[in-house]
């Protein structure tokens, strides 16, 4: 027999979510326009991801076609219920450009977990960029595991595309503010917050607030029950 008991709370939750969604549309009509636009564009956006060899996940909300620069042989994997905002009108902090997903070598990987959100974010991998579950990335943030060009001027003149690359890992439940830069070799621990405009160039432990250029720990969230 089907187990009916556990399904009732789910129906209640779904009804509650729907009610909140309707209320939000009534309060902010621009969201209704964006949703209609998203639905009309959906077949073309899904085709775009398929052409680039990126599997479409469950529950995605893709507001505007991103830029995908996928090196042959590389891997871009995105989890479920991900939100990507690329349209100018998709966020009160409008993106300067679409979301960018770029792999620069055949062995590069971009791995994005479930329930993540981003607006006009650029993610560039020569080695690997791994983003966990429930990570929120603020508008215009750049996440790049490569220097793009050699630091030495002599080497730049000889081989301008040669550069150092080291993997980036962003663990679960991280919140990254707008206009941040996450540099190569960085690991951001679970539950941490990166303040707006920060440049992260070193490891950030779990459950802290870090901000500045370079980003430094300014608060510990380990005993903060509201974080």
The catalytic site residues sit at 149
Bridge partners for 10 per DSSP: none
DSSP state of 165: B
Q: Could you give the angle at the alpha carbon of 42 between the alpha carbons of 74 and 73, nearest 5°?
A: 10
Residue-wise burial string across 147-159, b where 16 or more C-beta atoms lie within 10 A, e elsewhere: eeebeeeeeeeee
Burial of 168 (0-12, 13-18, 19+ CB in 10 A): buried
- What is the side-by-side strand order in the sheet with 199-200? 67-70, 100-103, 122-125, 142-144, 181-182, 199-200
């Amino acid at each position: 027999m089907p187990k009916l008991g556990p399904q009732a709370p789910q129906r209640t939750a779904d009804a509650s979510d729907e009610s909140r969604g309707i209320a939000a549309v009534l309060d902010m009509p621009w969201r209704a326009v964006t949703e209609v636009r998203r639905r009309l564009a959906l077949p073309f956006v899904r085709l775009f991801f398929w052409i680039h060899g990126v599997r479409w996940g469950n529950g995605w909300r893709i507001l505007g076609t991103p830029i995908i620069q996928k090196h042959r042989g590389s891997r871009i994997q995105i989890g479920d219920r991900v939100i990507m905002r690329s349209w100018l009108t998709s966020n009160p902090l409008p993106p300067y450009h679409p979301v960018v997903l770029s792999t620069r070598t055949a062995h590069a990987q971009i791995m994005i977990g479930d329930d993540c959100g981003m607006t006009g974010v650029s993610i560039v991998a020569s080695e690997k960029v791994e983003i966990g579950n429930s990570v929120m990335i603020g508008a215009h943030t750049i996440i790049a595991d490569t220097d793009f060009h050699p630091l030495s001027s002599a080497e730049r003149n000889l081989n301008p595309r040669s550069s150092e690359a080291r993997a980036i890992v962003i663990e679960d439940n991280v919140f990254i503010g707008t206009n941040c830069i996450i540099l190569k070799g960085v690991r951001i621990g679970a539950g941490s917050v990166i303040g707006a405009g920060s440049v992260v160039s070193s490891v950030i432990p779990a459950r802290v607030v870090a901000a500045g250029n370079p980003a430094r720990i300014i608060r510990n969230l380990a005993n903060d029950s509201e974080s």
